[in-house]
Amino acid sequence: MAATVGVRELRQNLSRYLSRVKQGETLTVTERGHEVAALIPRGDVAAAYADLVTRFGVTAPSERLERIAARLPTPGAAAGATDSYLSETRRERV
């Protein structure tokens, strides 16, 4: 289980908490009692993804997110999309 630290405490003692993370500890950051972030050691990214899969049933990316995003369609690019239709009809009125 990760240690928990509030945003204010983290901000006031950032160096101390970063030192703990560098030593391998994972910290859960809270704001008003709600989890908002996790500070994990750099090498533990795979473990963090595994934890997300377990906790929330998400799918871990199979490749770099930049490559996945590059293949996604651009908003409004699909023929027949609402934005495209509105754009076309507005051009006709001008």
Distance of alpha carbon 23 from alpha carbon 14, whole angstroms? 14
Lookup: tokens for 46 = 């795979």
Phi and psi angles of residue 5, each rounded to the nearest 5 degrees, phi first: -140, 140
- What does the pLDDT look like over 22-55, one tens digit per residue? 998 989 999 999 999 989 888 767 777 777 788 8
Q: What is the pLDDT of residue 35?
A: 93
Task: Please report, for the chain, the start and end positions of each structural domain, with discontinuous segments joined by +.
Answer: 3-87
> In terms of pTM, does the model score above 0.85?
no
Q: What is the mean pLDDT of residues 49-66?
A: 79
Lookup: tokens for 35 = 């989890």
Looking at the domain 3-87, which fold is it? YefM-like fold (3.40.1620)
